[in-house]
Amino acid sequence: MNLFTRTLGSETGIQLNPLQDNSSIPVNADNSDQNIATMARLPRGRYDKPFLLNRANLVAKLGKRGSRISAVWLNEARVHLQEALSNGAANAVVQRLVREPLTVHKWIYASSSTSISLAPVIGDGAVTAVTIATKGNQYQRPQVTIAAGTGATIIVKVNTNGVVTGVRVWGGSGYNADSVITISEYSGITNGGAGAKAELIWPRNKADSSLDGVTVAILSGGSGYSHPTVTVAEDAANPATAVATLSGISGGSLTDAVVTMTKQGLWYDADNTLIDIVDASGASVGAGETISLLDENGNSLIQDGKITGIKVSGGSGYSNSNLIKITRKVLFDVEMENSSGALQTLAPSNGSTGANFAVGAAVTLSGTRSTATNPISTVAHVSAIEDGVIISLTPQQGDGETLNGSANVTVAISAPTDGGKQAKAYATVANGLISRVVMVQRGSKYSAATTTATIDQANNPEFVADVLAPGVYAEPYLFALKHLEAFNDGIILALHANPKVVKGVAQANDEITLRLIDPFDRSVLYQFVGSLQENATDDFGNSTYLPDVVASQTDAVQLVVGANTSISPLSSAYGYDTNGQEQWVSSVDPVLYFFEGGINAFAYNSNDLYNARRKLQDTVLQYGTIVACGSTDANLLSELANLAYETNTPFKFDVPFVVGGANSVLDAISFVDNLDFTAKDAAHLLHAYWTPITCDDPIGVNGRLALGSAALNAAYTCRRNAVKNSKGFAKKNAPVAGSNWPLSRRGMRQEYAPSREELSALADARINPVLFESFASGGKYVFVDFLTQAPVTNSLRKLTSVSEMSVAIDAAIARFGKDVLALPMQDAVTEMGDYLKALFEGAEQAKWLVPSAELGGRTFAYTVAANPQRPYDVMDIAYSLSYDGAVRQITITQSLVKR
C-alpha cells in the first residue's frame, strides 16, 4: 500500500524526502575520493577541457572498442580506464591529449542542396576506329556450342580483359526454342576463363530451324577467357607514357627505395595502369614486392590522368640501376569466328582508349595457337582518332556529401569547344554515394581547363566539413555545427522537417529535427528540435531558436544558423514518403571533421603536456586520485606528479615490466630512480606499482598483455571509499593491499618471481610489487606492499594509507575554510575551531587517529587564531594528528619450554 512517493511527477500526492542528518560533519561530502583523474590519448573526447567519464557514458564518449596498443602505445589508457570504471571508480575526470597546433577541427555545414563535382580526364588521341586489312585466323577464343542443331555460323566477341561481351549467330538447321547455348574455354587452355553465360532469344512465330533472326543475350561475361593481345603504337613524336627511376635501394629490398617520377605521363587511371620493374635491357627483375598507386592515407596518386608518385616496398633482387616501366592497358573488343578463329571486327572498348595515338598507327595482334597450321597474321591500323575526348570522370564526393535515391543520376557536362561532340555520362548511386561513373558518349574537342562535370540535386540537403568559420564560409547554408567531443572516426548527421500545411497547401518549415549519430552503432547521441528563425518561441514565450535549444542541452555542440532558414516541401528531408515514414536526409557515412595531425601527432611535447595538466588542475570537476593509465613516458609522469603536488592529490603510476626481460627488477628500480620523484616536495603523494604478470586484455582488443595495476589499485581505493560510517569517514586507514584486495583479471600468470633480495631492493626503491601470494584463504594475486615515494624509513609518510587520510583531512578543512571566508574574524575563528574539533573527533572514532605520547596521550591538537602580523584579514590554522599505521612486517618467534 503506497502512502507516499519519493518523487512526484505531474500527479497529485505527497512527496516524502529522505531523512536529512545534519548532526555529523562529513569529511568528504562531495564523494570526490571515488573519482580518478588522468591525461590520456583517446580516439574521442573533448580536448578543450576535462570531461567526466563513467560506466554509463563510456561507450558514447570513447566508442565501442579501444584501439590496439601495438599501433600506438598510448592506446593503453582506454584499457585502464574501462577496467577502473568496472572495478570501483565512480567517475574518471579525463583530459584528452592532442597536439593542439597540429589538430584540424572543422565546422560541419548543412546546405539545402547538393552539388558534387567530377574531375574529367581528357584524352587527345583516343582510338575511335580500327581498319582491318587482313583478318588473320586461328586465334584463341572462347568456344560456343548450341545444342541441338548443326551448321550455324557463330561469332564470339571477347574484350582484351578476357570478358565475353557478345555472341552473334545465324544459319544452320535443327535448332529450336529449346536449344541451349554454352560458352567454354578453348580446348587445351589451362587456367582459362570461366563464368560466361548466355541465352538464345528466339523470335515469336519463327518457323524454320535455322538461327536466322535469333539473338543472344549475355547473362554473364565471365572472366579470364583467351583472346588476342592487341597493341597499338603511340605517336612517336609525342609519347604520353610515364617514366620513373629508383634509388636508395639496399639489400635488394624496395622498402627504403625512393621513386622519382621523371615524367608523369597522361591519361592514366586506376584500371589501365600497368607497372613493372625492369633492368636496362627491359627484362622484368625481382620478386615479392608491393606496388601501390595509393598514398599512406589511401588517396590516389593519379591526378587528372597523371601519375604523381608510386609507393613500393618489400621484395628482393632489386638494385638502383632498375627502372619502373609504366604502360597503359587499352581495351579492345575482338570478334572472332567460332570455328576458324578468324578475326571479324576490332574496335576500342568503352573503357580506356586514350594513349595519344595517331591515325595510321599500326595495330598488332598476337596470340595464335602454337599448333596452328598455316596461321595468318592480322594487318590493321588506326583509322580514326578523336581529339579532346573525356576518358573518365572521377567524382569529388567529400565526407557528408550524399545523393538522394539509388537510381542512376545524370552528370551535367559542359559543352565542348569548336563544334565538338557533346559528352554524356551517368553515375550509379548506392546509399547516397557514387559507386561508378559510366561514359555514355565520350564527346570530342574538350579541354581540361574548360570542362566541368557536376551532379546537382536541388532541395537535397548535404553535410560538408570545412575549416572556414561561419563568418568566412561563403556558400549558403542552413546551419553550421561544431562538435567539441571530437571523434576521430567522424559523426553521422541526419535532418528532418515535419510537414507544415496551410489551407491544404504544404509550406516551407523553419522547424527541424537534427540528430547527431554515433557511427559505430548508429545510436543517437543528441537530438535537437528547434527553429531556424531567430524570433521563434513556444507557447510559454521560451525561445525555440535552434542555437538556443542546443545550448540549453549541452555545451559540447556549437551551432550557428545560416542564410537559409527553412526546408522546402520539395526537399527530401521534408514530410513523409509514400509508405508514411518520416523522410530523413543523412550523411550516410561519417563526416570526418577532426584530425589529430600528421605522423608525429602522438609525440606530445612539453607544451602539450603542460597545457593538459593545467586544464586538469583548474577544472571544477572533482577527483580524489590521479592515475597514469599505464603510461611510462617520463615527461607525462612528471606533469602528473606536478598535478599531484598542486592539488594535494595521491598519484598512482606503473613501473614498466617487459616479458622475458633479463633484468626485470633492476630495470624497474632504474626507471623509478631516473624519475627522481623522491626529490619532489610531496613525494608521499606518489605511489609506484610493478606488475610482472600477464593476463587477458580486460576489454578484449589486445589478446594477452602485461598490464600495469596502478589504475586498478585506484579503482579499488574508490570502492573502499564508497563505504562510509555515520560521520562520513571511509576506512582509509586500511591500505588497498593484501588478501582483501585480490586482482580480478582473467588468465593471470606471473612471468617473473623476484627473490627475497630483489623484494627488499624494490622496497628500498619504494616500489609496490603485485605478485601471487598464498593466504589462509588460498592463493591470490595481490598488491604486496603499500609504500609512497617519500624518502623516509621510519615515518608515517611512507604509508599510502596515511597519505590518503592526510589528503582527505586537508581537503575537508580547505573546503570548510571557503565557507568562513568573508566572515568577521572572531566568527570565523569560532566556526573553524568548532569544525576542527568535530572533524578530528570523527577521525578518532573512525580509528584514523590513535593516542600519541608527543600529544600527551591525545590523538590530535590544533590552534586557530588571527595572524599576529596581519590580524585583520589572515587567519592561521595549525593542527597535529597522530595517524594509525598499517602492518607491513611481522616477526614470529616460537619458544620451546621444558616439561
- What's residue 31's pLDDT? 85
How far apart, in whole angstroms, are the C-alpha atoms of residue 749 and residue 692? 9
Task: State pLDDT tens for residues 124-141.
Answer: 778 888 898 888 888 889
Tell me the pLDDT band of 28, cut-offs 50, 70 and 90.
very low
Greatest CA span in the chain, whole angstroms?
129
For residues 780-797, give the mean pLDDT.
92
Q: What sections of 468-545 are H helices per DSSP?
A: none
Q: What's the pLDDT tens digit per position in 43-68?
A: 899 999 999 999 988 888 888 777 77
Residue range 531-555, pLDDT digits in tens: 999 999 998 999 999 999 999 999 9
Residue showing cell 542512376: 408
Q: What pLDDT, in 10s, does the model give residues 671-726?
A: 999 999 988 778 999 999 999 999 999 988 888 999 999 999 999 999 999 999 98
Q: At what angle do helices 606-618 and 634-647 cross, to 10 degrees?
A: 30
| Range in 20-29, 355-364, 613-622 the model is least confident about | 20-29
Q: How far apart are CA 306 and CA 273, in angstroms?
A: 11
What would the grid cell of residue 393 be? 570522370
Confidence band of 594 (pLDDT split at 50, 70, 90): very high
Check the CA dihedral 597-603-606-610 and report its sign.
Answer: positive
Q: What are phi and psi of 782, to 5 degrees?
A: -140, 165
Q: Is the peptide bond before 361 cis (omega within 30 degrees of 0)?
A: no
Q: Identify the burial level of 249 via C-beta atoms within 10 angstroms of its C-beta, where 0-12 means exposed, 13-18 middle and 19 or more buried.
A: buried
Q: What percent of the chain clears pLDDT 90, i.e. is strictly above it?
A: 60
pLDDT tens sequence across 145-195: 999 899 999 999 999 889 999 999 999 999 999 999 999 988 778 788 999
What backbone torsions phi and psi does residue 32 show, to the nearest 5 degrees? -65, -20
For the segment 755-779, the average pLDDT, to the nearest whole number, is: 94
Burial (CB count <10 Å: 0-12, 13-18, 19+), residue 454: middle
**pLDDT for the residue numbered 305:** 76
Q: Which residues pair with 426 in a beta bridge?
A: 410, 438
Torsion of CA 503, 506, 508, 513, to 10 degrees: 110
pLDDT category of residue 755 using cuts at 50, 70 and 90:
very high
Q: What is d(CA 873, CA 439) in angstroms, rounded to the nearest whole number? A: 85
Q: Which residues pair with 865 in a beta bridge?
A: 876
Mean pLDDT of all residues in 290-309: 86
CA dist., res. 219 & res. 200, Å (int):
10
Taking the whole predicted model, whether its pTM rises above 0.85 is answered as no
Q: What local confidence, expressed as pLDDT, does residue 10 receive?
A: 55
State the pLDDT at residue 521. 85
Predicted pLDDT of residue 781: 96
> pLDDT at position 119, please?
87
Residue 29 has pLDDT above 60, yes or no: no
Q: Is 644 helix (H, G, I), strand (E, B) or coil?
A: helix
Give Cα separations from 121 to 266, 355, 592 (angstroms): 9, 12, 27
Task: Kindly report the average pLDDT of the chain as a whole number.
Answer: 89
Reply yes or no on whether the pLDDT at 27 is more than 50: no
- pLDDT reported for residue 293: 92
Domain boundaries, the chain: 107-111+461-595, 117-124+388-455, 128-228+331-385, 232-328
